[in-house]
Chains A and B, each alone.
Chain A
Amino acid sequence: MTSASVAAPPRMQWQIATVRAVVDETPRVRSLILDVPEWPGHRAGQHVDIRLTGEDGYRAQRSYSIASAPEAPDLAVTIERIDDGEVSPYLAANVQVGDRFEIRGPIGGYFVWTAPLGGPLFLIAGGSGIVPLMAMLRHRALVDSKTPTLLIHSSRGFEEIIFRNELERLATKEDGLTVYHTLTRRQPVGWSGGARRIDRDMLTGIGIPPAMTPRIYICGPTPLVESAARILSELGHEPGLIKTERFGPTGG
């Protein structure tokens, strides 16, 4: 049913990815560094589809956000293990270096930030919702962008903060990036960050004000995304500047 007025571009082909390295980010989250020989490149914020074929021929596919910057030498995805998930337990726990599976992408052209878009950049992440935002922060760092940027990152506990060390490193470069962590369930002794869910007071108190017209990217579980996006709209941010990605256990 393709209309004659729309030229049919080539199909996005499945390719074979080989796992070059695995990095355990937290007890439940693992990054896979992938070798994809004909990777066409991507923009920060895009995702891939990964398809597994089982020993009995059973196939399943899921979408995963790309964690690596476009400028990085290898493609990386970062995957949270969902206990009752079908695909994520395999990718986040069983996969070993040298394993291969099918991949295609990049997919998605909306939840994307490239340095020329400028800022300020206001990023809000819940749990593994940090992954596409990390690609933006890595991109920002690798192209030496000084775009004023704030990340508010909500995690359950300190040990569950994904990319904690790297975020700390990026935030100490004094290139205009501020990282604020909030821990919703357990805070270590002497914790100076937030200690509750992202709420109106937090977004008003430390968020970038609407007058500065930040580009806002929110990614995380649906309740966090719905709530943050609603509050930011009510505070006066232009809805067209608020981009969201939501996921739940069914993403696993």
Chain B
Amino acid sequence: MTQQEINIEVLRYNPEKDSEPSYETFQVPFSHETSVLQGLQFIKDQLDGSLTFRWSCRMEICGSCGMMINGVPHLTCSAFLRDYYPGKLRIEPLSHLPIERDLAVDQTDFLQKLESIQPYIIPKETRSLEDGPFKQTPAQRERFYQFSECINCLLCYAACPQYGLDSGFLGPAAMALLHRYNSDSRDAGQAERMPIVNAQEGVWGCTLVGYCSEVCPKGVDPASAVNRNKVSSTLDYFFRFMAPRGASE
């Protein structure tokens, strides 16, 4: 295997010691299949054990290892050093989120937002286990499935300019998951979730940049979830305030 070397510049920040972040460069050997994550692991194993970042599954499904690579949000397990060579890489923590240490960001805000959208089936009918599964045709499943593929990696939050300006904005992933439950044929929770959608910090905060969908590693397309919710929100408003009582049923 041919081994080359590449420079990786990483953001360092230790809240116990540093008043502000700085950058440090490491030289890392790589071969054709070396991921950016493996580059960071090499630094931690061999050069500086204090470099701090999250990782786990290595296969784009756990959502732990999102970072900014040369300014672009990306999962580091599925980005490869070869694609940046002979240039260098600058690795930074995901934008718009508070840094805990080095490349690890605080995920609490997203987790609270996720909880706020009631991300569970609010059933249409009471159904016991003895009644067996709900019927759901492939077409019905198709209506929400894409939005259920969100791995909560937060790349879309790092991409979203609106979230950067106002962290109160519900944001792409939480909106996509809200839409996922609202669109599920087994669910009847839309009315309970609509106040979140309608709020200033809900769907109307989105300024339609669409960068969230571009960076999503799973093709979830949060931007389209937001847009579909704008339609729902408008209809909701119409039926509640403009149309005669009962028209929405």
Q: Do A and B bind each other?
A: no
Question: Could you tell me which B residues sit within 8 Å of A by CB distance?
Answer: none
